[in-house]
Amino acid sequence: MEPCVRIYDTTLRDGAQAFGVSFSLEDKLRIAEALDDLGIHYLEGGWPGSNPKDLAFFERVKKIKLRNTKIAAFSSTRRPNTPVEEDQNIQTLLKAETPVYTIFGKSWDLHVLEVFKTTLEENLRMIHDTVSYLKRFADEVIYDAEHFFDGYKANREYALETIKVAAQAGADCIVLADTNGGTLWYELEEIVEDVKNTLNVPLGIHTHNDSDLAVVNTLVAVRKGITHVQGTINGLGERCGNANLCSVIPNLVFKMGIDAIPRENVKKLVAVSRLVSELSNKPHDDHMPFVGENAFAHKGGVHVSAIKVNPRTYEHINPELVGNERKISVSELSGKSNILEKAKEMGIELDRDSPKVKEVVNRVKELEAQGYHFEGAEASFELLLNEMTGKKKKYFDVLGFNVVTWRQDGKVYSEASVKVKIPEEVARQRKLKEVFEHTASEGEGPVDALDKAVRKALEKFYPSLKKVRLADYKVRILNGQAGTRATTRVLIESTDGEKHWGTVGVSSNIINASLSALVDSLVYKLYVEEKEREAKET
């Protein structure tokens, strides 16, 4: 293997700047855990000075035991003519208390003179003061040279001077950023070579995709000796996006033989890619290289015949290396390996040759055709596996529900009533005479009212459900062309204060879809509790 390349993910900051993307705090924590499991070296959690949610993330993420990933907080250099100790952005950054601080500064004289409206000399002092000051508080300071390639082309001497100053101030890594995404690969190659001959510090690359070259420019930079790579999952980012780590990583590992993340971890890429799509509330791009559903799809004719003889004839890598699968029209084997692997992770043993596996695969296909997606809804998937293998226990039934919303004096009110039934066996165990409960509750909206009513009805039988609350709620219209008759997918994130889990519901009625996801959420809580009790007893 070549020397290791460090992967720096900025999905939660740069990726969140993509149009239409807004990660909740719970979303960010789930993505952080997934990226840590993938083996990402650095995760940029956000800009503490820009919004309270990012500061809250840095507080919450401290409670998660990350095994592979260092958390970085992001900010800019101090403001012009302001002592670094008095700069509000810098002082807020320190509140994040992360082991890594990433600072961006101006490399392009155009930005210094026309955006910052300061002198070129003051900009150099801003870079030096900020980096040297933060070195007192962090294990590492990474300096992002914003607009470096445009700045180099406009004024080579000054652009190089900005990064020399950052290096002299103690930056552990200097990242060359193609912020406007307009640099061509051969230009980038020449500029990186010049920088390497000028500086003797680790270098990084940060590319945008405005010329559709973010991935190739990243790989070219690595070929020239850069050892720190920045990007986002699915290429999320402002305008045309950032370098897509779902393409960068497998190209580094399998094509260039570079030790980026552990080779065995790369098979988790598809799951991580789909999770980020779900949590960003965007359809997963079926045609994305490596991780798209159609990345290894073959449809009839010569291709299919050749693939059956030898997959190498029409596939550049084995799809299983990135956690994907080969698609040849509709096959009974489609999805089999992924389901077996997922079941194994959940502690559910399935025999590869059992007819039951085929039943599960077919059922998953049926549900996906209806609009279900289980990425981001692992709890619903685990319950489905239990149901298909005859292990799902009945905890309760929702016999009926009614939701009323009305407007009065300019205000909107919602009330929900539900009727539930628990199995007689459960009632006997809890020494309860009743198996039915009919109750109602008000809420901020129809879903909130329904959530409260269902839990209120069940808490009498299952007191532990009092701890469960809705942490996040996402709605996606799957076939907008159907108008008000469109199918709706609801993704719910639930928590009991310690664990988090995702469930999904699909229906042409948004309330019914919400109820399905809510019911799965509560059933999963009870199922996990029972599984934990049984584990202790054995």
Containing 23, the helix (H) or strand (E) segment is none
Mean pLDDT, residues 153-179? 98
Q: Which residues contact 265 (CB under 8 A, 6 or more apart)?
A: 37, 38, 39
Give the span between the Cα atoms of 308 and 187, in whole angstroms: 43
Instruction: Please state, for a pLDDT cut of 90, what percent of the chain lies above it.
Output: 70
Q: Are 228 and 5 in contact (CB under 8 A)?
A: yes
Mean pLDDT, residues 205-224? 98
Confidence at residue 332, expressed as pLDDT on a 0 to 100 scale: 40
**pTM assigned to the model:** 0.74
Q: Where are the domains of the chain?
A: 6-279, 360-390+467-538, 396-461
What is the largest distance, in Å, between two alpha-carbon atoms of the chain?
Answer: 84
Mean pLDDT, residues 97-105? 98
SS3 100: strand
**CATH architecture of the domain formed by 6-279:** Alpha-Beta Barrel (3.20)
Give the span between the Cα atoms of 90 and 66, in whole angstroms: 25
pLDDT, one tens digit per residue, over 6-42 is 999 999 999 999 999 999 999 999 999 999 999 999 9
- Binned at pLDDT 50, 70 and 90, residue 452 comes out as very high
Mean pLDDT, residues 279-284? 87
Confidence at residue 330, expressed as pLDDT on a 0 to 100 scale: 38
DSSP letters for 474-490: EEEES-GGGGGG--EEE
500, pLDDT greater than 90: no
The CA R_g of the chain, rounded to the nearest whole Å, is: 26
SS3 142: strand
Give the lowest-confidence range in 174-188, 359-373, 405-419, 507-521: 359-373
The winner for highest mean pLDDT among 3-12, 142-151, 295-304, 434-443 is: 142-151
303, pLDDT greater than 90: no
Give the lowest-confidence range in 100-104, 334-338, 390-394, 446-450: 334-338
427, pLDDT greater than 90: no
**CATH architecture of the domain formed by 360-390+467-538:** 2-Layer Sandwich (3.30)
497, pLDDT greater than 90: no
Q: Mean pLDDT over all residues of the chain?
A: 91
Q: How many CB atoms neighbour CB 236 within 10 A?
A: 26
Mean pLDDT, residues 491-499? 88
User: In the numeric block, which tokens belong to residue 80?
Assistant: 């012009």
Give the lowest-confidence range in 99-108, 246-255, 433-442: 433-442
SS3 230: strand
Mean pLDDT, residues 463-488? 83
Q: Are 86 and 125 in contact (CB under 8 A)?
A: no
SS3 1: coil
Confidence at residue 329, expressed as pLDDT on a 0 to 100 scale: 45
* H helices present in 261-322, as ranges: 269-279, 301-309
Residue 102's nearest CA partner among 182, 25, 174 is 174
pLDDT, one tens digit per residue, over 117-145 is 999 999 999 999 999 999 999 999 999 99
Containing 223, the helix (H) or strand (E) segment is helix 214-223
450, pLDDT greater than 50: yes
pLDDT, one tens digit per residue, over 33-77 is 999 999 999 999 999 978 888 999 999 999 999 999 999 999 999
361, pLDDT greater than 90: no
Q: Which amino acid is present at 119?
A: T
